Amino acid sequence: MALRPQLLDRWGRPVDRSALVEERTATTIGSVRSPVSGYPADGLNPIRLAQILREADHGNPIRYLELAEQIEERDPHYLGVLSTRKRSVSQIDISVEAASDSAEDVARADMVREWLKRDELTDDLFDILDAVGKGYSFTLIGWDVSEGQWMPATLDRQDPRWFRFERGDLMTPVKITDNGAEAPLDPFRYIFATIRAKSGLHLRSGLARVAAWGWMFKAFTLRDWSIFTQTYGQPLRLGKWHQGASEREKDLLFQAVANIAGDCAAIIPAGMEIAFIESKTVGASADLYEKRADWFDRQISKAVLGQTATTDAIAGGHAVGKEHRKVQEDIERADCKALAAILNRDLIRPWMDLEFGPSKNYPRLKIERPEAEDLVALSSALEKLVPLGLEVEASEIRDRFHLSEPKPGAKILVPPAMKPADPPPSDPNAPPATDPRERNGVIERISAKIKRGPASSGGDVALQAEGASTGENSGGSPEAALAARMQVEAAPGIDLMVDQISIMLERAGSLEEFRGMLLAAFPSLHAEGLAQTMAMGLMVADLAGRASAEGDDA
């Protein structure tokens, strides 16, 4: 019995196949994998935020990861632009390239294509792309071996708080065991995704670090705006008491003035007075808070999407929006390439190694949005180039137009020229119609003659070399000499038309199709040269006839 080869992961660690199917410790409150999260955003200020980021830089990212979660929960704008970036990639169709054209490699690629049809894939990719905000993410691969095969059954998002990075380099990921110790990741068990907003450590490459500062200052602005609105958004209530009012009466007046803000109703003793004083600068002051909050939102849009036109209404209209959309597409393409590389490295290669053993080449996932193609221009080009002899595979054109191969017996659309025309009205003086079998026989003879080429159609044309004497080729007859010369002069034009017709015959699948191709291409046949030669021949014949007539008269 042949021994299976020893598999190694990306870090060179041996793979334990039995460990890949072991159940993971469930998430429980009070354990290392606790679902309960802290709330470091409560009361956040610049000093606390700096401390949180420094902790992450030294290898303790718990509070930073919890803060990143809270920012997504509390800032609708950040949540919106970050989700847009992740969903635009997670919904793009994934294609698979086989390692080679061999039957085995094609079968492996088909197996991957079949697996990609799973309904949960979009949500799985969205979770993997959590690395866009935090800088990295972990996904547990659940392997299915129920039928003796290795197949990725589930892709489960893992809380990044359950992982750390080795203290020596702060780059190699490790997991936190049940007893709180750090241990290497199980080979072939995790998808470790990193999508960096900047170069450097994974802990410092996420967008959440930038968003944290913007969100904190915007939170200050929104808090001040709320206080301002409550204080100055309503007119100032001023209570006046009469001379000699007691403390109880003053307290009663203050209570009434205070209650007006919420209850909008109060009673006071006679003789007391309440005045409402409106602020004249409320509108101008409130605009400052709104502009400041909008400015922070635009900075977050630039950091996440690279532009602002698709998220904020700005001057410039449609043209500016199109230019900004190109910037977003550049970021989308970069995310697609990064995600495809991650899946090829941490999912496809381990899967193929477990199922078939190590190999030099593997199927490759490609995540890319198809480029828009001008199919009208393509149709116009084909209409002109195909009759000239351009050879194009029908299957390739069908793929470009996203059309399937016609099935046997299916109703097929044909050009109007190929459809049977209505019979013309009967004419009693018209000659009898040609029998279809006779017409088909004529077409077959013409087709055979064209395929044989001008050289095999007889010796007449071949003998009519330019410069041959009239007596040698025509026996001295002027009519025969003129006809022989016409054959020589018309040969190039006829050859050009014959070449076009020969190409049509080779492409046509039936005589009806050949007829349709002839009718469709008739206006564009190269007949100018032949027409000029015939005109010259007619003119020479006319002059020759006139000269002969004058000679007879003489």
Which residue did the predictor score with more confidence, 63 or 437? 63
Please tell me the predicted confidence (pLDDT) of residue 226: 85
Cβ atoms of residues 335 and 85 within 8 Å: yes
The full set of domain ranges for the chain reads 17-210+343-367, 232-326, 374-413, 436-553
Instruction: Identify the residue whose tokens are 């399937």.
Output: 404
pLDDT in tens, 475-506: 456 666 667 777 677 677 677 777 777 777 77
Mean pLDDT, rounded, for 137-149: 91
DSSP string, 257-326: HHHHHHHS-----TT-EEEEE--SSHHHHHHHHHHHHHHHHHHHHHHHHS-STTTS--TTHHHHHHHHHH
Which residue did the predictor score with more confidence, 528 or 120? 120
Produce one character per residue of 378-391: b if its CB has 16 or more CB atoms within 10 Å, e if not: eeeeeeeebbeeee
Helix (H, G, I), strand (E, B) or coil at 122: helix
Mean pLDDT, rounded, for 250-277: 66
pLDDT in tens, 507-546: 777 777 777 777 776 666 556 666 776 777 777 677 666 7
Produce one character per residue of 515-549: b if its CB has 16 or more CB atoms within 10 Å, e if not: ebbbebbeeeeebebbeebeeebeeeeeeeeeeee
Please tell me the predicted confidence (pLDDT) of residue 92: 92
Cβ atoms of residues 59 and 170 within 8 Å: yes
Please tell me the predicted confidence (pLDDT) of residue 388: 80
Mean pLDDT, rounded, for 338-365: 94
Please tell me the predicted confidence (pLDDT) of residue 439: 43
Mean pLDDT, rounded, for 183-206: 93
Cβ atoms of residues 41 and 67 within 8 Å: yes
pLDDT in tens, 439-480: 445 445 555 544 454 444 444 433 344 444 444 444 456 666
Q: Whole-model pTM above 0.85?
A: no
The answer, yes or no, to whether residue 328 has pLDDT greater than 70, is yes
The answer, yes or no, to whether residue 379 has pLDDT greater than 60, is yes
Percent of the chain topping pLDDT 90: 38
Most confident range (mean pLDDT) of 164-178, 221-235, 241-255, 401-415 is 164-178
User: What does the alpha-carbon distance between residue 26 and residue 7 come to, in Å, rounded to a whole number?
Assistant: 28
Most confident range (mean pLDDT) of 179-193, 252-266, 368-382 is 179-193
Name the token pair of 90: 């997670």
Nearest to 219 by CA among 73, 85, 84: 73
What is the four-CA torsion angle of 222, 223, 224, 225, rounded to 10 degrees? 50
Please tell me the predicted confidence (pLDDT) of residue 52: 96
User: What does the alpha-carbon distance between residue 157 and residue 96 come to, in Å, rounded to a whole number?
Assistant: 24
Lowest model confidence (mean pLDDT) among 79-83, 102-106, 262-266, 365-369? 262-266
What rounded mean pLDDT belongs to the chain?
A: 78
Please tell me the predicted confidence (pLDDT) of residue 367: 94
Please tell me the predicted confidence (pLDDT) of residue 534: 72
Mean pLDDT, rounded, for 42-71: 95
Lowest model confidence (mean pLDDT) among 2-6, 112-116, 299-303, 508-512? 2-6
Mean pLDDT, rounded, for 427-435: 48
Lowest model confidence (mean pLDDT) among 67-76, 234-243, 332-341, 397-406? 234-243
Which residue did the predictor score with more confidence, 312 or 338? 338
Work out the burial of residue 174: count CB atoms within 10 Å of its CB; fewer than 13 is exposed, 13-18 middle, 19 or more buried. middle
